[in-house]
Structure formats: C-alpha cells, structure tokens
Amino acid sequence: MPKSEIPSVQVFGRKKNAVAVAYCRRGLGMVKINGSPIELVQPETLRLKVFEPILLLGRHRFENVDIRIRVKGGGHSAQIYAIRQALAKSLVAYFQKYVDEAAKNEIKKILLSYDRALLVSDPRRCEPKKFGGKSARSRFQKSYR
C-alpha cells in the first residue's frame, strides 16, 4: 500500500428508491450526511433510527473513522433506512479490510442480532401498473350492459 493512499471503503445502502452511499476512511469519528452532521438529520422523529448502529456498537468503534454519506431518491423514511444500512455496512467493510476478522465478526453478530435490515437489503420493489385497471392488481369493474 503506497503511503499516499488513505485506508477507505465505499459501500451503499438501499431501501425502495432511496440509495445512500457511504465513504468510510480513517479519521476522527466524524459522521456527515449530505454535508451536515448526523445530529441534524431530518425528520427529527426518525433521528434515533439513524443512530441505531452507533448506539448498538458504541462510540469507541466510530472514533477512528470518518464516514460521509450521500443519499438521494425515495421518501424521508426510505432515506433514513438507507442511511442506517450504509452506516452499518461501511463499518463492517472497513473493519474487514483494515482491522481484523474477529472484530468484524463481532460487529456483524451484534448488528444481525438486533436487526437484519442493517446489513441486508430489502428486495421488495413497487410493482408496475398493468392495463385494464387503475393500479398493479386492481381491475376496472366488470359490466354486462
């Protein structure tokens, strides 16, 4: 590894149409979402959801990494869930690549025992509309006269 290369990983989290890309590198424990601190995430009611990976794993695991997250697409809730998934996956990937396998497995075990959605994407997507009705499954009412 050349001296100029900074240890970093880039991972993504998805929920519905929202995609969050997390860039995790060695640093001072800073977590930013679209350029603003994680403490200022909107909506306020879902802020605790974003903090779940940090609260589960403890601040000491985030002290020596900087995480920058870009999120776009989807609605408010979908973006929040995409952010928390990207946050959790980025720390697991960083620990696997630059720390050690035992620490990574410990983190993964903690996250999976709490909520599988923190590491595994939800495959459900919106079903496309078909002809003969107003939505994907409903049909127009049948009439004989």
Local confidence pLDDT in tens for the 145 residues of the chain? 566 788 999 999 999 999 999 999 999 999 999 999 999 999 899 999 999 999 999 999 999 999 999 999 999 999 999 999 999 999 999 999 999 999 999 999 999 999 999 999 999 989 999 999 999 999 999 999 8
Give the chain's mean pLDDT: 93
What pTM, to 2 d.p., does this model score?
Answer: 0.89
Q: What are 96's two structure tokens? A: 């696997």
The dihedral built from the CA positions of residue 80, 82, 83 and 89, taken in this order, carries a sign that is: positive
Q: What is the DSSP letter of 10?
A: E
- Res 145: pLDDT: 84
User: How far is 40 from 32, CA to CA, in rounded Å?
Assistant: 9
